[in-house]
Amino acid sequence: MSVELKTPEDIAGMRIAGRLASEVLDFIGPQVQAGITTGELDRLCHDYIVNVQRTIPAPLNYTPPGYTPYPKSICTSVNHVVCHGVPGEKRLKNGDIINIDITVIKDGYHGDTSRMFYVGAPSIQAKRLVELTYDCMWRGIRAIKPGNTLGDIGHAIQSHAERHGFSVVREFCGHGIGKKFHEDPQILHYGRPGAGMRLEPGMVFTVEPMINAGRPDIRQMADGWTIVTKDHSLSAQWEHTVLVTPDGFEVLTVSAGTPPEPATE
């Protein structure tokens, strides 16, 4: 596996792309309300990305090996949808939870980030899952520093999720990112301390755990993209793009509306 170390020029470009991706979430957050459809959220984001930011929505027509071209500009994953929910006619209702995942390309560089949103008031269980998943992402990010390994990141996430009775989706992972959407290495959200590749300054990758309230098993829908929990339990996900620095990490997908880092216990 060859992992590209970013140059100072690359890093400057990735900071800009990361901020822009995060600003799309700032823009769309207030529109996430009961009555709107996921297709309408996609249209609003698409127009903002293309006409206001003058960036490129990376998902649109993205075609990994074995897939059909992705038909929309964002992913909208509601309730038991784990990831890659395709925007359409689905209308949001009070109590839903939704992940919105944004990837934009600016001057050739990708920024990739997602957040969870509540539609109206969440159930106690949904709020617990969403907050726990956010803590899991941050525990993974805080494990990032030169000399630590990919297994340290995965272990930090998995141990926290399972300690609270939730489960980690295994089939999808974080990824290196830069001039390409998905690069090496794969960032598994489970693992053993000290296992796997050692982190080096200049690596840029995403941390994007998918945590299920029930069993970890998933199923792909007939559209070829949408992933759901097999047991229909709720699923949550958060994502940041992160740079490995000489003494730790720098989150690149930050903007005015980025939620605060959780307190360390």
How far apart are alpha carbons 207 and 197 in whole angstroms? 15
Which residue, among 86, 79, 96, 95, has the nearest Cα to 226 in the 3D structure? 86
User: Where would I find the H helices in the chain?
Assistant: 8-28, 38-47, 124-142, 150-163
- Is residue 101 at the binding interface for Co ion, with CB under 5 A as the rule? yes
Q: Is 239 in the site for ligand MF3 (CB under 6 A)?
A: yes
- Of 127-166, binders to ligand MF3 (CB under 6 A) are none
183 binds ligand MF3 (CB under 6 A): no
**What's the closest the beta carbon of residue 83 comes to ligand MF3, in angstroms?**
7
Regarding 112 and contact with Co ion (CB under 5 A), the answer is yes
Judged by CB under 6 A, the number of residues near ligand MF3 is: 12
Q: Is 233 in the site for Co ion (CB under 5 A)?
A: no
The partner in contact with residue 62, picked from Co ion, ligand MF3, none with C-beta cut-offs of 5 to 8 angstroms by kind, is ligand MF3
84 touches ligand MF3 by CB under 6 A: yes
Q: 110, 180 in Cβ contact below 8 A?
A: yes
DSSP string, 147-215: T-BHHHHHHHHHHHHHHTT-EE--S--EEE-SSSSSEEEEE-SS--TT-SPBP-TT-EEEE--EEESS-
Q: Is the omega angle on the peptide bond into residue 146 within 30 degrees of 0, that is, cis?
A: no
Interacting partner of 59 out of Co ion, ligand MF3, none (Cβ under 5 to 8 A depending on kind): ligand MF3
Q: Does 103 bind ligand MF3 (CB under 6 A)?
A: yes
Residue 71 is a binding residue for ligand MF3 (CB under 6 A): no
Taking the C-alpha atoms of residue 83 and residue 242, their distance in angstroms, rounded to an integer, is 20
Q: Is 70 in the site for ligand MF3 (CB under 6 A)?
A: yes
* Binding interface with ligand MF3 (CB under 6 A): 59, 62, 70, 75, 84, 101, 103, 112, 206, 208, 225, 239
* Binding interface with Co ion (CB under 5 A): 101, 112, 206, 239
